[in-house]
Amino acid sequence: MMNRCGLLTLQKEPVPLKSIEVELEVRDHVATVVSTLNYENKEDKPLEAVFVFPLPGDAAVCHFSAKIGQTQIVAEVKEKQKAREEYDDALSSGQQAFLLEESDQSPDIFSLSVGSLPPGESASIRLEYVTELSVQADDGLRFCLPAVLNPRYQPQGSEGAGVQVTSVPASLVPYSLSFSARVSSPRPISKVESNCSLDPLQYLNTDQTQATVKLAAGHKFDRDVELLIYYKDAHQPTAVVEAGQASAEPGSLMGDSVVMVSLYPEFPQSVMSSMASCGEFVFLMDRSGSMGCPITNSKQQETRISSARDTLLLLLKSLPMGCYFNIYSFGSGYEHIFPKSVEYSQQTMEEALKKVEQMEANLGGTEILQPLKHIYSQPCIPNQPRQLFVFTDGEVGNTKEVIDLVKKNSGSHRCFSFGIGEGASSALINGMAKEGGGHAQFITGTDRMQPKVMQSLRFALQPAVVDISVTWDLPKEVSVTVLSPPITALFQGQRSLIYAQLSGQCSEAAEGCVTVKYSLAGHPSENQLHFSLSPAEDTGLTVHRLGARTLIRSLEMDERENRGQQDGGVKEKVVQLSVQSGVSSSFTAFIAVNKDNSEMIQGPLVRRNIPTPLPNSMAKCERTTKESIFRGVVHDMAAAPEQPPRDPLLHLVSLQGASGCWLLDPALATALGKTNEEVEKSKPEKANSEVWATILALIWLHGFKMDAKDEWELLAMKAASWLRAQNAPCVTECVDAGNVLLGCSVKKEALGL
């Protein structure tokens, strides 16, 4: 179980890990990360150092080696139990050994054991992994180096003790982190942004397709390091063919060429402008104790739960009339606002908002499995496709079980997931969205949750793409084996990646073509990509390793689904593929034994747990909790800080009716920054008061809040369609008078009228 052994400061134990150096190489949308961990034993006894740390959930760990003095030992991938036995045998016979393994519960947590480090000895451990970069709402590619590991809550009665984690507040971490990145792409790099301070971007060539960047000196280890990389024309479909390994057997995955295809489907504008007006929207909100923590270190007053309440307000105001909805919240147990999903109306919206305003982070631990089971047990409503929105800070111990449950129910719904705050589990958030045919978002640093969630609502309102098929057109001497699971979801402008093994020989000039066909709102569509079959220069084996990782993850999931059935073959397949490709899996581990050290290491080993950073916001949050939030005990937060004044945008939004209109009343005047008298007096004589109020609200949004348009665009569209349905006279007069009153110059067309 992810529990917290005493803090380093309490233990007063020396830490043998001195520094971590991370080098990132980004090529287009794939990253290779090399971490070097430098150890030194300053004690008079031989040590075993154990470090539990996070990695991106979809990373393929592909190299692990240790250097002691002049001796370099490269680890091999072996079946996990064998590797553990070999490690124990080496230690008991006085040899040095190194073991790296993935946690059984969650693929984004690894444990590294450095065994038998003699007094005065130094060792440097090199760890290499490859990962894909996900595309954000604004087309930035996101790389995250997880630095902080939040304690994961283990549900009561769950199997397996899992990994022991020692964590300390980030300010007390005794080792340093240095980080540098090199970015190259066929397209120019327009900018690189980060949640941490960076030195300026240095371009390495005149066409700006290569650049380097590094963390500014004095970086505190108090947050995940997030880089957002922006290219010009990011939405070009691409295919990269990578040559196989000369030493590997032809016909094997590593011996053949592998292609990585990235597609960006573009849907016709006519379809995109017709947002669905139906659906069952189920919002599942984490209210465990850790949701009471600040979202960031910089904005202490904004907690994860307060941001989530604001987000639910925007979501409820943006839903289409005629849909159904419900809101669940969970901690150690779960609650729902309505016994089952209800039709969206003024009355049900108001009832839900009253409950949302009272939501606090007071439900204890993070048990997400039970509410999910309850939601899935509810019968679906005919002609109202179910859309599930899950908000969590992702401190869940049983990640694989949760993802398997989402996958099992993926035929009846789409799942959109949001990871809130530093250290949210990428394996959980990405896994739920991927298996649930939806979209994942991470909300960290200075991000506002609202624009990201509203983008996902737009995706949820897009018509579902069905009958997706991928066909390959290749020269007759080349055959294709697809390594990726079938594509189950396509969204406008979002990338889909496909990996495939290409067997057979062909001429240098040969071309291949991949076609994705699908049906959208009853219209058949297709996107095609032609590509050269000659391998790209100098990509190492990155594409092979990512292809192997994709296939390993699919097989692991099959193995969990079929557990208890008499097919032990899947596990053997995973072990074989993992050993052959050198990529880690849940059934294998990396093991290295130093057979060169002629002298036996004498004496019993002293174990030292290397602490991982806990984000400072979490550490501060913990100090205000009266009881531990990780034991699943419902706790009181310390006296709540005074409420900051309401955001003017959210104030105006809170006054909108379910149908899309606003009422003419003193509350609206206040939100617009006017007196009731001014608003009443400026109203054109023949205008209906609700029409006038709604036009004023729309002018205010367009005139003063264009920078937050992503947040209010859907509810403004709803207001405009309400206005059009009124066929009201004197709309033009109202727009002119409203502009005069509010000091704006917004055109009637801009309001969608």
For 124-155, what is each residue's pLDDT tens digit?
999 999 999 988 877 889 998 887 666 555 54
pLDDT in tens, 342-363: 999 999 999 999 999 999 988 8
In our burial notation (b when 16+ CB lie closer than 10 A, e otherwise), range 360-384 reads bbbbbbbbbbebbeebbeeeebeeb
The 3 state secondary structure assigned to 593-631 is EECCCCCCCCCCCEEEEECEEECHHHHHHHHCECCCHHH
| Every domain of the chain and the residues it spans | 4-233+582-617, 244-270+465-534, 276-462, 648-751
C-alpha torsion angle, residues 140, 145, 150, 153 (rounded to 10): 80
pLDDT in tens, 36-80: 999 998 888 888 888 888 888 889 999 999 998 888 999 999 999
Nearest by Cα to 60 from 587, 638, 581: 581
Q: Which amino acid is at 397?
A: G
DSSP lists the bridge partners of residue 54 as 109
- Rounded CA separation 296/510 (Å): 52
Across 222-226, 297-301, 378-382, 606-610, which has the greatest mean pLDDT?
Answer: 378-382
Nearest by Cα to 580 from 34, 62, 99: 62
- Options 3.30.56, 2.60.40, 3.30.70, 3.40.50; CATH for 4-233+582-617 is 2.60.40
For 395, half-sphere exposure in the C-beta direction (CA atoms, 13 angstrom radius) is: 33
Residue predicted with more confidence, 395 or 581: 581
Q: How confident is the model at residue 393 (pLDDT cuts 50, 70, 90)?
A: confident
What is the C-alpha R_g of the chain?
28
- Rounded CA separation 550/544 (Å): 10
At residue 272, the pLDDT reads 66
Please tell me whether residue 643 adopts helix, strand or coil conformation.
Answer: coil
The CATH fold of domain 244-270+465-534: Immunoglobulin-like (2.60.40)
Q: Answer yes or no: are the C-beta atoms of 304 and 310 closer than 8 Å.
A: no
CATH classification (class only), 276-462: alpha beta
Q: Answer yes or no: are the C-beta atoms of 8 and 15 closer than 8 Å.
A: yes
- Rounded CA separation 582/584 (Å): 7
Distances (CA, A) of 292 to 108, 397, 402, 727, 741: 24, 19, 23, 47, 41
Lowest mean pLDDT among 31-45, 220-234, 670-684, 739-753: 220-234
- Rounded to 5 degrees, what are φ and ψ at 375? -60, -45
Question: Quick one: average pLDDT of 218-224?
Answer: 75
DSSP lists the bridge partners of residue 528 as 515
At residue 621, the pLDDT reads 58
At residue 9, the pLDDT reads 35
Q: Residues 6 or more apart from 82 whose CB is under 8 A from it?
A: none
Instruction: Judge if 4-233+582-617 and 276-462 fold alike in CATH terms.
Output: no
DSSP lists the bridge partners of residue 717 as none
Nearest by Cα to 641 from 147, 349, 301: 301
- How far apart, in Å, do the first and last CA atoms of the chain sit? 58
Q: What's the pTM value of the predicted model, to 2 decimals?
A: 0.82
